[in-house]
């Protein structure tokens, strides 16, 4: 078992806070962005993708965030509502802020990049007083992500949301989601990431993201066990460190480490893998599964998403993930592993 417990008397399973933006994914695959002419629009942002993923898996989900007062903002809110996500915590900016844009380039399955436009974006305008305590009080789990810590007042809004979660007994998960172009300095990033991580029950990130957080500490060999152990001196119950195609390792406060079964995938692009993995992993925890099963379920969900053109739109149902795992076990999917 995972060792995590959740208050099942609460009506909402999962609430995310943070970035809401637009993904514009290149339609011309295997071509540099300079030669790409058409893109398809999707709702994006890591916490938004994870919330959509949880809703598709059958969880009752909500969102706290801010959108621009424009067509894109209305598109985002409408999409969340169509996914069955509670949007009472999504407010509209009235200061002239804009919707963040992410253009994706898919040169090959292994060579993908994202061009982000993040100046004066609405999601970073979320104010603490706009965070609904009642919504967070009524959920089993709150998810925060690192991008929302990059600027005020969003930064303070996130810390208040964490306070509400801890006050009302909701588990707090932290998807590190480090985007260097949203921060002024690496020192500032490390300070706020560490302050937030100290208050979280579950921390999920790549080896490189944890390296960023450890920039002032002594772990020159970049040992995962040392990295995870630090957080068990605070609130953490589970720390997941991802190593890309080499898989991930989950550490628990009892000193154990866990690895996932990996699955093959017909890779179209690599982005979206982390968000779908997080949704699948957190879903498993909320079902009471053991850690390894949660990780394997997250890995299978990621394989489905990276085999598709979109991120949010490709988030699978629980039935689709279970079917994917079964097909892999029967040898029906044999593409190269991610």
First to last CA, the chain: 27
Residue 260 has pLDDT above 90, yes or no: no
Question: pTM of the full predicted structure?
Answer: 0.95
pLDDT digits (tens, 9 = 90+) for 212-255: 998 877 888 899 999 999 999 999 999 999 998 788 999 999 99
**Alpha carbon distance 130, 127 (integer Å):** 5
**Alpha carbon distance 314, 302 (integer Å):** 10
Domain 12-20+47-92+127-329 carries which CATH code? 3.40.1190.20
- Compute the CA torsion angle 296, 265, 25, 144 (nearest 10 deg): 10
pLDDT digits (tens, 9 = 90+) for 41-59: 999 999 999 999 999 999 9
**Alpha carbon distance 298, 238 (integer Å):** 15
In the prediction, which pLDDT does 336 show?
54
**Overall average pLDDT of the 85-101 stretch:** 97
In the prediction, which pLDDT does 337 show?
42
pLDDT digits (tens, 9 = 90+) for 161-188: 999 999 999 999 999 999 888 899 999 9
Name the nearest CA neighbour of 131 among 245, 236, 237, 15: 15
**Overall average pLDDT of the 322-333 stretch:** 92
The chain-wide mean pLDDT, for the chain, equals 93
């Amino acid at each position: 078992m995972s060792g995590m417990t959740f208050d099942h008397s609460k009506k909402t399973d999962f609430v995310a806070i943070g970035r809401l933006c637009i993904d514009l994914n290149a339609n011309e695959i295997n071509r540099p962005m300079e030669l790409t002419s058409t893109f398809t629009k999707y709702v994006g942002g890591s916490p938004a993708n994870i919330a959509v993923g949880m809703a598709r898996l059958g969880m009752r989900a909500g969102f706290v965030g801010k959108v621009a007062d424009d067509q894109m903002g209305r598109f985002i809110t409408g999409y969340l509502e169509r996914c069955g996500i509670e949007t009472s915590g999504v407010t509209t900016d009235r200061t002239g802020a804009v919707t963040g844009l992410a253009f994706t380039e898919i040169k090959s399955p292994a060579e993908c990049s994202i061009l982000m436009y993040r100046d004066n974006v609405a999601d970073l305008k979320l104010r603490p007083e706009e965070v609904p305590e009642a919504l967070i009080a009524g959920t089993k789990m709150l998810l925060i992500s690192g991008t929302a810590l990059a600027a005020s007042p969003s930064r303070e809004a996130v810390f208040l949301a964490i306070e509400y979660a801890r006050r009302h007994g909701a588990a707090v998960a932290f998807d590190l989601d480090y985007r260097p172009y949203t921060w002024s300095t690496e020192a500032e990033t490390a300070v706020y990431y560490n302050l937030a991580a100290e208050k979280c029950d579950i921390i999920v990130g790549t080896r490189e993201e944890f390296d960023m957080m450890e920039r002032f500490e002594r772990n020159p060999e970049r040992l995962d066990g040392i990295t995870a152990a630090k957080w068990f001196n605070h609130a953490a119950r589970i720390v997941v460190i991802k190593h890309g195609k080499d898989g991930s390792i989950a550490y628990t406060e009892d000193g154990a480490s866990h690895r996932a079964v990996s699955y093959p995938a017909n890779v179209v692009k690599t982005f979206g893998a982390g968000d779908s993995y997080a949704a699948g992993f957190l879903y498993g925890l909320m079902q009471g599964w053991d850690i390894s099963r949660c990780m394997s379920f997250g890995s299978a969900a990621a394989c489905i998403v990276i085999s598709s053109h979109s991120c949010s739109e490709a988030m699978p149902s629980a039935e689709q993930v279970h079917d994917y795992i079964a097909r892999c076990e029967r040898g029906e999917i044999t593409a190269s592993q991610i």
